[in-house]
Structure 1
Amino acid sequence: MRRIPREEGKGFVYIAPGAVVCGDVRLGEDVNVWFGAVLRGDEARITVGDGTNVQDNAVLHCDPGVPLEVGSYVTIGHSAVVHCASVGDRTIVGMGSVLLAGARIGPDSIVAAGSVVPPNKSYPPRSLVLGSPARVVRGLTDAEVEALAESALHYIQLARSSLSVRFYGGGDVR
């Protein structure tokens, strides 16, 4: 369990045991990075906006000189790979999805679990993106858009509660 200090006057970042954050990585307030996730900013900058969660075993990395930007209140699902892409605010990148170099996902969108987003492909705001190769299957409803940030808010609360838990190989001890 680690608390990473933020810029003066800001909140905290939660990085779970076993997660790796290295290189030029800028994390916003209340960002939480879960078990086994890897954020590799060794080739270019990774910027992650406020309230975003990077779930277990997800990988964010860049090519030399090509930055990666993730907006605020984004959920990067378990085992997703985001490779020098741009993800808009309040977006969910589903479990096991792959976003290839230069992909751009508009804000308030969902990339369905297991989708493969081709290189240099752009998707408009409020899109449900699905498949391999990924395509827009429909726009999101107002109700769906309103619910997008709920995932991120849930993980912020989970991260805050995890700060009081010590992790050992045999289980959690409070």
Structure 2
Amino acid sequence: MLVRHRGREPRISPDATVAPGAVISGDVRVEAGARILHGAVITAEDGEIRVGAGTVILEHALVRGRAGHPALIGDGVMIGPHAHVNGATIGDGAFIATGAAVFPGAVVGAGAEVRVNGVVQVNTTLGPGAVVPIGWIAVGTPAQLFSPDRHDEIWAVQKALDFPGTVYGVDRSAGMAEIMRRQSAFYAAHDADEVVG
């Protein structure tokens, strides 16, 4: 399904494939040979998305573009089932495995791998060819890699990366009530969406 959102329509190459049940919304460009499979959601909320040539986005993956953090997916990239790429840049030939999450402001270099359930935190840069092991977390620029049981070490780096400011546009002191008030108002823009294809 193709959706006009915030006055912008997806632009899909005639040589790309969008499977039935996939949703592509807003300012999204899908290049030749790209394949968007069943249940994937590619949503340009208020920032653009580019899906490069020959890229494959598998079932139930989510790619989100945000203001100040477009989702720029290179050529020949694999984004696995249930993966989440939110306002990040993914270099050519990268592999984002099943269940992996890449957060706003992150950069995943060409040929890098974020393996099953791996995480690349906000404002983190993972170099070309680097590997985030299964379930591990990449944090910082350049990225440091941590196993999930090293929370205190992860937090020591992550705190300065400003997750609340980057993702929600609020100071760390903002409570969930304020964050959700803003999020509810932001996503109300979908009330005006129109199915265009």
The TM-score, its normalising length taken from structure 1, stands at 0.70
3-state SS of the aligned residue for 2:47?
A: strand
Does residue 1:75 correspond to 2:56, yes or no?
Answer: no
Q: Number of residue pairs matched? A: 132
Measured in 2, the distance between the counterparts of 1:39 and 1:105 equals 18
Measured in 2, the distance between the counterparts of 1:111 and 1:95 equals 9
What is residue 123 of structure 1 aligned with on the other side?
A: 126
Kindly report the root-mean-square deviation, in angstroms, between the aligned alpha carbons of the 2 structures. 2.0
What is residue 60 of structure 1 aligned with on the other side?
A: 63
**More deviation in 102-111 or 57-66?**
57-66
Identity over aligned residues, as a percent? 32
Matching residue within 22, 27, 38 for 2:25 = 22
Does residue 1:114 correspond to 2:117, yes or no?
Answer: yes
Name the CA shift for 1:87/1:5 in 2 (closer, same or farther; >3 Å): closer
What is residue 189 of structure 2 aligned with on the other side?
A: none
Pairing of 1:1-174 with structure 2 (within 5 A): 6=13, 11-130=14-133, 131-134=135-138, 135-136=144-145
- C-alpha displacement at 1:136, in angstroms? 4.9
Q: Determine if contact 2:12/2:30 at 8 Å carries over to the other structure.
A: no
Q: Which letter does structure 2 place at the counterpart of 1:54?
A: I
What is residue 152 of structure 2 aligned with on the other side?
A: none
3-state SS of the aligned residue for 2:27?
A: strand
| Greater helix proportion | 2
Q: Determine if contact 1:127/1:136 at 8 Å carries over to the other structure.
A: no
| Greater strand proportion | 1
Q: Determine if contact 2:110/2:129 at 8 Å carries over to the other structure.
A: yes
- C-alpha displacement at 1:123, in angstroms? 1.0
The TM-score, its normalising length taken from structure 2, stands at 0.62
Tell me which structure has the larger Cα radius of gyration.
2
- C-alpha displacement at 1:116, in angstroms? 1.3
Cα deviation code 1:15-69 (max 9, x no counterpart)? 1111000100011111100010000013110011100000000000022242110
Consecutive unaligned residues of structure 1, counting only runs of 5 or more, are 138-174
Runs of 4+ in 1 over 6 A off after TM superposition: none
Consecutive unaligned residues of structure 2, counting only runs of 5 or more, are 3-10, 139-143, 147-197
Cα deviation code 1:103-155 (max 9, x no counterpart)? 11000111111011111000111111224423559xxxxxxxxxxxxxxxxxx
